[in-house]
Structure 1
Amino acid sequence: MRHRKSGKKFGMEPSHRKSMFRNMARSLITHGRIRTTVVRAKELRKVADGLITLALQNDLHARRQAYKVLENHQLVKKLFDEIGPKFVGVPGGFTRVVRLGEPRKGDNAPLAVIEFTALGAAEAPAAAPEVQKTEEPKAAPAKKAPKAAKEPKEPKEPKAPKKKATASEEAPAEEAPKAESEENK
C-alpha cells in the first residue's frame, strides 16, 4: 500500500526523475514558462516553489541549496537577483498551472503551461489602495409597463410592375462577347 506517500513516480528510477525535474526547473527559470503535461507541471510546482522560497531567504546557505538542485551558477544568480525579489511579501503560490485545451498529438496526454505568477511585489497592481466601499442599498428593479397594443400599419402603395427587357436592349450585351472572341483569333 502506498498510503501517505506523496509524489508521482512517472515510471522512472529516482535518479531519472530527479534529473527530469532539475531540467524542467532550469527551463522554467530561464524562460519563465514551459509547456508540459498536467501531472508533470503539478509535480514541478513543488520544486519551483521550493526554489523561490530559498530565493526569498537570500543567504549563502540558501544559494548553496539552490545550486544543489539547479547545478548552474548563472541560474542561481538569476533566481536570487531577479525572480526572488518579485515575490517578497508573498506567502506562497509562486507558480500557476494553466491547462491547455488541446491534448498532445501522439499519446493524447493533457497539456498545461506552468509559469511564475505575475503578482509579485514588484508587479503588484500599481499600489491599488484598498478602498472600503460602503454598500449602498440597491433599488428594486422597476417593473416593465405592459406593452401597448400595436397600431395597424398603413397599407403600402402597390409597386409598378417591372418592365421586361426587349430583344433590342438585350442584343448589344450579347454581341459584345462575340466581338471580343473574334478579336482574339
Structure 2
Amino acid sequence: MAAPTKGPRLGGGPAHERLMLANLAASLITHKSIKTTETKAKRMRPLVERMVTFAKRGDLHARRRVLATIGDKTVVHELFTEVAPLVADREGGYTRITKLGFRKGDNASMVQIELVLEPVTPKPKSAKKTAKANASDAPVVNETVVDEPVLEEDATDENLVDETATDETTEAPAAEDAK
C-alpha cells in the first residue's frame, strides 16, 4: 500500500478532510482572519491561494471551479467582488500565518491565518540591478578591432627600408602588365 504524500491527515477520511478544509476556507474568506491549529492552517493555505487566483481571473469558469469547492454562493460572490480587487496587484502570498502559542487543553500549536489585503508596495531596485538593466537596454555599437600602433622602439630604419622596398616591387609588376 502506498504511503500518503500530502502531509498529516486531519481526522477521518479524505472526504471529511475536503469538507473541513472547504469550511475553513469559507470562514477565512468571510471573516478575513480565523484562529485554528497550525496543521489545519498549513493544509488550508494552498487551497485558499488557488481560490484567490481563480477569483483574480474572474471569468465564469473560475467562478464555477471555486463553487465546486465552496458550495456557498454568498462566500464565492464575496471572494470575487471584494477580495479579488484588493489583491489584483499581488503576485501570490495571499495568506499570512501568525503563531499564537499552544492551546490549553491539548497543547496544540495555534495560529491565526488571515488574508493579506494590504496594497503591494514595490521594493526599490538595487543599484546593481538597475545598472545591469540600463546596460542591457542600451543599443549595441559595432565594435571594430583596431591594430595597435607601432611603438618607436619597434620602428627602426631597417623596417622602414623593407616596407618601401616591398611597395616598389609590388608596383613594378603592375606597371609591366599595363604595357
Structure 2: how far apart are the matches of 1:97 and 1:11? 22
Cα–Cα, structure 1 residues 129 and 2, in superposed 2: closer, same or farther, change >3 Å? closer
Richer in helix (by share): 2
1:124 aligns with 2:103: no
Which residue of the partner structure matches residue 105 of structure 2? 106
1:115 aligns with 2:111: no
Give 1:8 deviation, angstroms. 2.5
Matches within 5 A, 1:42-81: 42-81=42-81
Deviations 1:74-131 (A, max 9, x none): 1111101110111113221110111003x11210101000001133xxx335xx7848
Cα–Cα, structure 1 residues 54 and 7, in superposed 2: closer, same or farther, change >3 Å? farther
Aligned-pair identity in percent equals 36
Structure 1: how far apart are the matches of 2:83 and 2:71? 17
- When the two chains are superposed, the root-mean-square deviation of aligned CA atoms in Å is 2.1
CA contact (8 A) 2:83 2:117 kept: no
The normalised TM-score by structure 1 is 0.62
* Unaligned segments of structure 2, at least 5 residues: 128-179
Which residue of the partner structure matches residue 137 of structure 1? none
Aligned residue for 1:34, secondary structure, equals strand
CA contact (8 A) 2:89 2:120 kept: no
Which residue of the partner structure matches residue 158 of structure 1? none
Q: Runs in 1 of length 4+ with deviation above 3 angstroms?
A: 128-133
Which residue of the partner structure matches residue 150 of structure 1? none
Aligned pairs, how many?
127
Which residue of the partner structure matches residue 38 of structure 2? 38
Matches within 5 A, 1:18-29: 18-29=18-29
Which residue of the partner structure matches residue 152 of structure 1? none
* Unaligned segments of structure 1, at least 5 residues: 134-185
